[in-house]
Every structure is written in C-alpha cells, then in structure tokens.
Amino acid sequence: MPVITEIEDLRRIYQRRVPKMFYDYCESGSWTEQTFRENESDFDLIRLRQRVAVDMDNRSTASTMIGQDVSLPVALAPVGMTGMQHADGEILAAQAAEEYGVPFTLSTMSICSIEDVAEKTTKPFWFQLYVMRDQDFTRRIIQRAKDAGCSALVLTLDLQILGQRHKDLKNGLSAPPKLTPANIANLATKWGWGMEMLRTPRRQFRNIVGHAEGVGDASSLMAWTAEQFDPSLDWGKVAKIKEMWGGPLILKGILDAEDAKKAAEVGCDAIVVSNHGGRQLDGALSSIRVLPEIVEAVGDKVEIHLDSGIRSGQDVLKALALGARGTYIGRAFIYGLGAMGKQGVTTALDTIRKELDTTMALCGRRNVHELDRDMLLIDQDFH
C-alpha cells in the first residue's frame, strides 16, 4: 500500500480498484465539465497571509454545524450509489463519520437504506431528500427518516431535472452493473471489488425498491427515477416539506443571493452553497466564488455551509474564512471509501483535518472561530 499524504493519493488507488462505470459516475461533471473543473481551480485564486510568533499551543478544529458538535466542520455529503463504490459503502462511511465526530448524510439514492444504516450506527445521521412526484413516497420516506432518528433533513433543490453527464450515458450506468461485454471485461480486472460485492445482498437502491410502485430491476429503476423527480418543486412545496418534517432543515443547492433570501424566508437551519459538485448546471459559477455574495445577503439570518470542489483542509479554511460555518466533502470521501473502505474515509477526514490544523497555525489562528477574511489575499480574477 503506498503512503497516503493527500486526497489525490486516495483518488488514484480508488481509480484502480473500482469498476470504470462507478469511477466515471463519481469523477465527472455535466456537459463540458467547466463548473466541475472551476470548483477546484477557483480555490487557487485565494492565497493566505502568513503570520508568525503567535502562541500556537491548544489548537482546535472543533465547531458546531446547525448546533450539533463536530470535531471538524466537514460533513460527508449525500452521494447516490455510495454502496456501489464499496460493498455496504453507506454503512462504512456513516460509521467512519460517527467515529470521527462529523455528520454523515444519507442520500435518497443510496444503496443501503435508511434502516440498514440506522441498524449499524449508534448516533443520528442526516437524511437527504429528493422530492418525487409521488407525494405518498415523499411522506413515507420522511416518516422513515424520523423513525430512524435522523437529526436533520437535507433537502436538495438543484435536481428537479437531471444534468447530463456524458460518461454515465456512454457507460450505461446501472446498479448492479449490466453485464455487457465491455462491463464484463472491466469487471474481470476488479476482483477485490467484486469479491466484496458478492458478500452483501445490498446492491440495489434500497430506499426505493420495495417502497415505491413500479420499481423492479435496475433498468426500470433508472427509468423510474428519471421520471419521478418532481419538476414542479417550488418554495410553496419546500414550506410543506418543512412542515411535514418538523425538525432541523438544511436547503442544499443554493447558488444565488435571491434564492438564499427566499430560503431564509421559508425558514431553515442552514443553506448549502452548492452546484452539486458541477454535476447539474454546467457553466454555473463555482461555489467558492458565489459564497461572498451569499454571506453578504443572508449571513446574519441563516447558517451557511458550502460544498463543491473541496479536496484539502486549505479549501475548508478558505470557505470558513469567507463566512461559511461548515463544509461538505463528496468525492474526497468517496475516493477514500472506494480505495480502502471505512479506513479510507477516516484517512480522507484525517488528511483534511491535519491540513486545516497546520494551515490555521501558519496563519496565526488557533481555532476555526478565529478564521476571517483578513487572512486571505484574493486574486483580482476572483471578483
């Protein structure tokens, strides 16, 4: 096993270990992938001001997100099909997050179900909701999240219509993979992954299969999903879901100051400034680039979180210094999971925590509450 010192090391091992179809599903953006690329590269337009001779004993990365204690302000983002990256992937990631003291968010489109994850964890996790046309399904899945003790609902607003990702179409993405000649040839080179998968019955979208009408095999499920996302989701429906849920609510996918104001008016505990990791509207601005205008618009009204493009503790520091209370990682933890299972998720979190801690110290700050814009040197191109 090579020495792992950065998230990129995990990505390389992950690429070797997991079937191409699932690697491509993770490592792609929509259309030209401009937004996907800029999510990462825009962080480089922000430099850091070094400070010296400040007592750096007793440092801490601890904070809170929506009032819940976190050892590090980095939650695991909801990622569909996590259980195809590694057998029982959602359970392993949730356990790693629980042990590390950060929130885990289970996607509606997960392989392991809400109940599977609840059974194998001891602390509450967050549940991410995609709103479906079938209101009964929405009502029932919210009830299942309540019954499982989920401590926040993350309502995703930027996927009423699915953004097109070329690779998924070309690979014929499905769970479990369809046995086409190309897939069989690729799977034959991925023995470790295959052996683990055979050890678990969890290879379908278990939040949905058996819980919704007309869902059978993988291909009908994919077609069903594409038809079922509710394209008429609006602020009125958001208010109804808030009422149905009745607990801590996080609105995910905000990229515009006007939308941020509407989210604050509806009433939520936090918003996530996010472009879905560049998977939805290609050509949208990177999350880090829009963060300052959203902080200015609603920073005093609602807690602000950010995701899309975070690959290091320095990225986390920059988001916090620009006014985010917390961040999420999607791909960074999936690389770890696909590379090394639960240990890989812990390694991803630990890599980011160490980078954040060291960077804070070299900038003369002892804890995440001391981070502010004065420590940043922002390139002209960023504005």
Which residues form the interface with ligand FNR (CB under 6 A)? 25-26, 39, 77-80, 107, 109, 128, 156, 252, 274, 276-277, 279, 307-310, 329-332
Q: Is 309 or 344 the residue whose CB approaches ligand FNR more closely?
A: 309
Number of Cβ atoms within 10 Å of the Cβ of 288: 25
Q: Is 25 or 245 the residue whose CB approaches ligand FNR more closely?
A: 25
Shortest distance, CB of residue 167 to ligand FNR, whole angstroms? 11
* Phi and psi angles of residue 305, each rounded to the nearest 5 degrees, phi first: -115, 165
User: Per residue in 313-328, is it b (16+ CB within 10 Å) or e — as a string?
Assistant: bbbbbbbbbbbbbbbb
Task: Please choose, from the candidates 217, 253, 285, 324, the residue with its C-alpha nearest in 3D space to the C-alpha of residue 78.
Answer: 253
Shortest distance, CB of residue 377 to ligand FNR, whole angstroms? 24
- Is 71 annotated to bind a ligand? Reply is no
Q: At what angle do helices 135-147 and 235-245 cross, to 10 degrees?
A: 40
Q: Which of 86, 166, 211, 276 is catalytic?
A: 276
304 contacts 323 by C-beta, under 8 angstroms? yes
Shortest distance, CB of residue 242 to ligand FNR, whole angstroms? 17
312 contacts 7 by C-beta, under 8 angstroms? yes
* Residue 70 β-bridge partners: 63
- Is 216 annotated to bind a ligand? Reply is no
The DSSP call for residue 261 is H
H helices of 246-330, where? Answer: 257-266, 287-298, 313-321
- Is 330 annotated to bind a ligand? Reply is yes
Reading the block at residue 370, the tokens are 């001391």
Q: Is 206 or 276 the residue whose CB approaches ligand FNR more closely?
A: 276
Task: Please choose, from the candidates 224, 187, 159, the residue with its C-alpha nearest in 3D space to the C-alpha of residue 21.
Answer: 187
Q: Is 228 or 308 the residue whose CB approaches ligand FNR more closely?
A: 308
- Is 79 annotated to bind a ligand? Reply is yes
- Is 4 annotated to bind a ligand? Reply is no
DSSP string, 271-285: EEE--GGGTSSTTPP
- Is 25 annotated to bind a ligand? Reply is yes
Type of residue numbered 221: L
User: Beta 63-65 vs 105-106: how paired, if at all?
Assistant: unpaired
Sign of CA dihedral 245, 160, 18, 315: negative
Q: Is 63 or 156 the residue whose CB approaches ligand FNR more closely?
A: 156
Shortest distance, CB of residue 110 to ligand FNR, whole angstroms? 7
Residue number with the smallest Cβ distance to ligand FNR: 330
- 112 contact partners, CB below 8 Å, separation of at least 6: 82, 83, 88, 89, 90, 91, 106, 202, 206
276 is catalytic: yes
> Rounded distance, CA 165 to CA 169, Å?
7
Q: Is 331 or 365 the residue whose CB approaches ligand FNR more closely?
A: 331
- Is 353 annotated to bind a ligand? Reply is no
Shortest distance, CB of residue 328 to ligand FNR, whole angstroms? 6
Shortest distance, CB of residue 225 to ligand FNR, whole angstroms? 10
- Is 80 annotated to bind a ligand? Reply is yes
- Is 331 annotated to bind a ligand? Reply is yes
Sign of CA dihedral 159, 162, 165, 171: positive
Q: Is 39 or 68 the residue whose CB approaches ligand FNR more closely?
A: 39
What are the catalytic residues? 276
Q: Known binding site for FMN: residues?
A: 78-80, 107, 128, 130, 156, 252, 274, 307-311, 330-331
Q: Known binding site: residues?
A: 25, 78-80, 107, 128, 130, 156, 165, 252, 274, 276, 279, 307-311, 330-331
Q: Known binding site for glyoxylate: residues?
A: 25, 165, 276, 279
